Amino acid sequence: MALVNMRDMLHHAYDNNYAVGAFDLVSLDFLEAVVDAAESCRAPVILSIAEPHFSHFDFELIMPAVEAAAKRASIPVAIQLDHGSSLESAIKAINLGCNGLMLDASDSELRENVRVTRSVVEMAHSCGVPVVGELGYVAGYEGEGAELHPGATLLTVPAEAKSYVEQTGVDFLAVSIGTVQGRQKGRAKLDFQRLKKLNEAVNIPLVIHGGSGLNDEQFRKLPTMGVVKINYYTALSDVAARAMRTECKNNSAGSFTDLKKGVKEAICAEVQRCLKLWGSAGRAAEVLAQCAPWSVVEQLIIHNVYHMDDVQLGRLMSESRALLTAIPGVREVFSGDALREDDKYKFCWVIRFANKTVIDSFTQHPDFLNFSKKLFKSYACESVTINYQENPRITGLGHS
């Protein structure tokens, strides 16, 4: 079990002057290649799912694979939604297993950016999930980067950034200092003077988007100036496509799986290069020892019901299940009847929370209060409620 709290992971990087890679995944090849690279470099890593890429895969289907890879890994892993566009998508991401959020309202005017970001921060913090906000605008020049991030780049203004951070409560700030989303046009010119001022003004760790195409010297300098996370995708997509083109040339009658040969290796090699350059290689053991693990909590409720017929009860149970499932931080809701007639408790609910922070906000949520009032205050009795936290010693997947 190597899922760790993303806030802790990035603060370790902040304290030790290195940056963690957040690599956007668009297929299982990317997922396996990024985890393999991080394992081979003993580096902490962020598996990143970008909302603008949702046309390439089904978010609900890819998340169980991403979570399984994170749990199986022996290096520390966090899972983030990248470029989330709204409160609704942020809630969905947490409920599907993301433990970090990047909210991108950077194309809205400042007041609106603050309003949306603050609402996401309040919700995410009630689930223990940290949020990256973005101020200034990182645009793309060509291809996919330009389609997904149209318009002109706006560099982040330090005084505005300070007030944005204070008003929104974001944990990390993505800044615009001259990078582009997607492919660079010529050599990237970064405004390090601005980065220095931003670092002094906001006093929280910084994030860079549009990492593809920067040179080694630029990459080495960023973590010394408060940058703890670098988002990286285009270069991975380019090396994967190059590997496929080479295979097409060598094997023009090849099948899909023939042409895919070499893709994973190419992505893995590029990720390894980044992890070494950004200083995160070799940090896995320290991060695992110093960061809190990210583990689910399950609430078990067992009870009996009186004065309610089966149809009425069935309807109430299924309506309640749908409402409870939508509450921020709820991963899953199971409700069932005892198999044996003579069991002491006839009904059970198992509600899985993203982590223990969720318990408080869940029990105060209007939909839970309503559920509780309808079922427990009126019909249910002899109920027992217990919260259980996953125990790494028992599962045998030790967090060491």
Catalytic positions: 82
Q: In this complex, which beta carbon is closest to Zn ion, that of residue 153 or of residue 231? A: 231
Runs of H (alpha helix) within the chain: 6-15, 28-41, 59-72, 87-96, 110-125, 143-148, 158-168, 192-202, 216-221, 234-250, 256-259, 263-277, 284-290, 310-325, 358-364, 366-371, 392-395
User: Which range in 207-215, 249-257, 278-286, 315-323 contacts Zn ion by CB under 5 A?
Assistant: 207-215
Closest CA to 232 of 260, 212, 247, 252: 212
Query: C-beta of 81: minimal distance to Zn ion in Å?
Result: 12
Least Cβ distance, residue 45 to Zn ion (angstroms): 17
For residue 242 the two structure tokens come to 């190059």
To Zn ion, the closest distance from the beta carbon of 83 in angstroms equals 6
Task: Restricting to residues 256-315, name those near Zn ion by CB under 5 A.
Answer: none
Q: Closer to Zn ion by CB, 209 or 303: give it.
A: 209
Q: With contacts defined by CB under 5 A, name the span among 92-100, 190-198, 204-212, 325-333 that binds Zn ion.
A: 204-212
- What is the amino acid identity at position 199? N
With respect to Zn ion, which residue has the nearer C-beta, 151 or 314?
151
Closest CA to 330 of 301, 380, 296, 371: 296
DSSP string, 174-192: EE-SS--BSS-SSS----H
**Coil/strand/helix, residue 54:** coil
Nearest residue to Zn ion by CB is 209
Regarding 209 and contact with Zn ion (CB under 5 A), the answer is: yes
Report, in Å, the least distance between residue 161 CB and Zn ion: 17
Instruction: Pick the closer one to Zn ion by CB: 155 or 317.
Output: 155
Q: Which of 1, 87, 53, 5 is nearest to 356 (CA)?
A: 5
- Can residue 12 be called a binding residue for Zn ion (CB under 5 A)? no
Number of residues located near Zn ion, criterion CB under 5 A: 2
Query: Does 399 interact with Zn ion (rule: CB under 5 A)?
Result: no
Nearest distance in Å: CB 102, Zn ion: 8
Cβ contact 79:47 at 8 Å: yes
31-39, 206-214, 330-338, 354-362 -> range binding Zn ion (CB under 5 A): 206-214
CA–CA dist 280, 291 (Å, integer): 15
Kindly list the residues in this chain that would bind Zn ion in the complex (CB under 5 A).
209, 231
